[in-house]
Amino acid sequence: MLDLKQIRQHSGQVIAALSKRGDYDLQPLLVLDAQQRELESERSQLQARSNEIGKAVGQKIRGGADPKGEEVKALREEGNQVKRQLSELEPKEKALKAQIQDILLTLPNLPSASTPVGKDESENVEVRRWGDEYICKDGTPHYEIGEQLGIMNFERSVKIAQSRFVTLIGAGAALERALISFMLSRHTQAGYTEILPPVLVNTASLTGSGQLPKFAEESFKCDRDDLWLAPTAEVPLTNLHRDEILSAEALPVHYCAYTPCFRREAGSYGRDTRGLIRLHQFNKVEMYQFVHPETSFEALEALVKDAEDILQQLKLPYRVLELCTGDLGFSATKTYDLEVWMPSASCYREISSCSNCVDFQARRADIRFKEPGQKGTQYVHTLNGSGLAVGRTMAALLETYYQPNGSVKVPEVLQPFLGREVL
């Protein structure tokens, strides 16, 4: 969430920054803010007058005035009138604050000064490539390989659920599990603490991480409860420290988590309708960091390297893109996407997104820290990154390591986790 004080004091700068992301009108917010502050000032004056009257009544009575006399009676009548005015103002002010909050929750994060300006994904900037020597120019689609090997079934998944689900069988299930174990092992060795969080999350958690209210239509909700199926482990990891004040000495905090993820993919019908690329349910290993504001952009570069490490270990060629302002995620101020090479499509496809959200999520979830010897608190900065999307990793692996005889080689680093060299 953006800082209302920043919007009020530097509205021109905020409007200019938001214009790089799209069309956002801040005038209604500024009008409501002015109205709310006017009511707040009036309420403060009335409260002060109410306190003065209370003291005056006490002083009069202690000075010998008749508690039922006209002088005291007049003061009490004025006091009652002030209280009535206060009782009328308070709900009005509360309603204005709620309207302001509703607008703030719909505004995206401001792009960083270093984020490339662009209208959409076509203007993202390629930063680097890795593994050109491993690139296959064409190949068999992963879903065909999986069905030939008998390790994945889509038709029966439709019978169990609906389209865009998959059932992994035998070596397919083992491969998914091996990839998850391998990713978690690499991240914990790099200093991340492994978390296994709930995958049902409440509305406050989705709001705190930035998924609500904007992405309500993309999420699955349990109608009888205030619970949603988590679209990403970013949601529960953000909210592990919701409404908490951390010590500065505890920072940085690095978490990693495997969870199944659930998304409607409401805006993607007709795209990637076959295979593992765009499912309603998929597995992902997430990296998440709570860091000091002074180190968050440095931490982002390191986070990207941690995601790249997985692809390099598996020897899957990829490229790194810096997202432009028009393609930036809602909560992010700066984002790098990792795209893995898919031989069957002869193109790169997103497999990880690594973002610095600065204080945007921390402000929504009220996560702060305190420096030693200082009275006040500051909001932490949060970062998140896929490390990696497991299904897409499996898809790239099957296509990259597919052999002419119909088998699939298992990458050397994955063999101890899977217990075999060939599928």
Mean pLDDT across the stretch 371-383?
A: 94
Looking at residue 64, its pLDDT comes to 80
Residue 393, domain member (yes or no): yes
C-alpha–C-alpha distance, residues 415 and 408, integer Å: 12
Among 36-50, 261-275, 356-370, the least confident range: 261-275
| Domain end position, chosen among 104, 134, 159 | 104
Total domain count, the chain: 2
Give 381-394 pLDDT, tens digit per residue.
999 999 999 999 99
Q: Which residue has the tokens 């019978």?
A: 159
Residues 96 and 128 in one domain: no
User: In 3D, which of 312, 306, 258 has the Cα closest to residue 285?
Assistant: 258
Residues 65 and 214 in one domain: no
- Of 21, 164, 186, 278, the catalytic one is 278
Looking at residue 270, its pLDDT comes to 61
CATH classification at residue 72: 1.10.287.40
Looking at residue 18, its pLDDT comes to 97
Residues 333 and 303 in one domain: yes
Report the DSSP pairing between strands 167-168 and 253-262: unpaired
Among 15-24, 226-235, 263-272, 309-318, the least confident range: 263-272
Residue 195, domain member (yes or no): yes
Judge whether 163 counts as a catalytic residue.
no
C-alpha–C-alpha distance, residues 43 and 57, integer Å: 21
Judge whether 392 counts as a catalytic residue.
yes
C-alpha–C-alpha distance, residues 15 and 17, integer Å: 5
φ/ψ bin of 131: left (φ > 0), alpha (ψ from -120 to 50), beta (otherwise): left
Residues 156 and 282 in one domain: yes
CATH classification at residue 212: 3.30.930.10
In the numeric block, which tokens belong to residue 268?
């993607």
Residue 294, domain member (yes or no): yes
- Of 263, 363, 364, 368, the catalytic one is 263
C-alpha–C-alpha distance, residues 216 and 343, integer Å: 34
Domain that holds residue 49: 25-104
Judge whether 364 counts as a catalytic residue.
no
| Domain end position, chosen among 43, 74, 104 | 104
Backbone CA torsion sign across 337, 20, 356, 196: negative
Judge whether 8 counts as a catalytic residue.
no
Backbone CA torsion sign across 188, 190, 191, 195: negative
Residue 13, domain member (yes or no): no
- Of 50, 157, 344, 353, the catalytic one is 353
% residues pLDDT > 90 (the chain)? 86
Give 102-142 pLDDT, tens digit per residue.
999 999 999 999 999 999 999 999 999 999 999 988 899 99
Judge whether 176 counts as a catalytic residue.
no
Residues 323 and 208 in one domain: yes
Give 34-66 pLDDT, tens digit per residue.
999 999 999 999 989 889 888 888 887 888 888
- Of 21, 363, 368, 392, the catalytic one is 392
